[in-house]
Amino acid sequence: MTWKADALLHAKEQDPKESCGLLLNIRGKEKYYPCQNLALTSHQCFIMNPEDYVAADSLGEIIAIIHSHPITPPVASEADKISCEQSNLPWHIVNPKTEQWGFCKPTGYKPEIIGQPWVWGISDCWSLVRRYYKEKLNIELRDWERPTTPEEFQDNPMFESCAWRTGFRELRKDEKLENNDLLFMSVGGTGLNHVAIFIDGDVLHHFRDRLSCKEPYNPWLLKCTGKRLRYASQN
């Protein structure tokens, strides 16, 4: 069987979940390596098991990422395009029902800040902060090593412990908010599990399973806010 036939078979076996895997070059031969999708909402996205990635890398050169679109056509989504850029690898996409294939590769694609779908580790609240600081302020913020799934993060949010290592300090009670300050919030979980950017009385942020947006810093968001932070070099 060809690698495409193996990948298609894996996609059919995983349907209606998204399948994911890697294309390897093993001594000059292309081989499909199936991986586990750890996402709980695996019909909408995939989180590749990092242990599978490491195991595949030990067998040969990873030359592409492959995943399925069980419901939609095999056309790269916004999340696919962002992930493709981050992986620096070409992506193959297959629909297990129509057996049609799609393809995308890194081209320098830069997504819009507002209106992006939420995908853990790719297009979420911290990803939005990093993208905003890079594009608007030319500040490259560290990307923290996160838990594999958002459910693990909800059980143990890491914003407070990582803030100082990223160059932020907590505002004193007598300090007023300024543009580009961060707001650490507790939303539907334990601890400070969400981050937003303060801009002219509004907040720019990205809630789970919603599009990234800018909205007024309303009383409910104010109530959710646990800490206010400022990038240290701005003082």
51: DSSP letter: H
Note if 205 is an active site residue: yes
Q: What is the pLDDT of residue 44?
A: 58
pLDDT digits (tens, 9 = 90+) for 197-224: 999 999 999 998 899 999 999 999 999 9
Q: What is the pLDDT of residue 155?
A: 74
Which stretches of the chain drop beneath a pLDDT of 50? 234-235
Q: Is 54 exposed, middle or buried (0-12, 13-18, 19+ CB in 10 A)?
A: exposed
Catalytic: which of 10, 67, 69, 205?
205
Catalytic: which of 10, 67, 69, 194?
194
Asked whether 68 and 32 are in contact (CB, 8 A), the reply is no
Note if 125 is an active site residue: yes
> 22 pairs with which residues across the strands?
33, 65
Question: Element (H or E) spanning 82, and its range?
Answer: helix 78-87
Catalytic: which of 35, 45, 125, 224?
125
Q: Which domains does the chain have, with CATH numbers?
A: 3-104 (3.40.140.10), 125-234 (3.90.1720.10)
Cα distances (angstroms) measured from residue 28 to each of 4, 55, 58, 199, 215: 16, 18, 15, 53, 53
The tally of CA atoms less than 13 A away on the side-chain side of residue 85 is: 12
Q: What is the pLDDT of residue 58?
A: 97
Query: Rounded to two decimals, what is the model's pTM?
Result: 0.74
> 97 pairs with which residues across the strands?
none
pLDDT digits (tens, 9 = 90+) for 133-166: 999 999 999 887 777 778 878 777 777 777 778 8
Q: Which two tokens stand for residue 67?
A: 């995943």
CA–CA distance, 202 with 223 (Å, rounded to integer) = 15
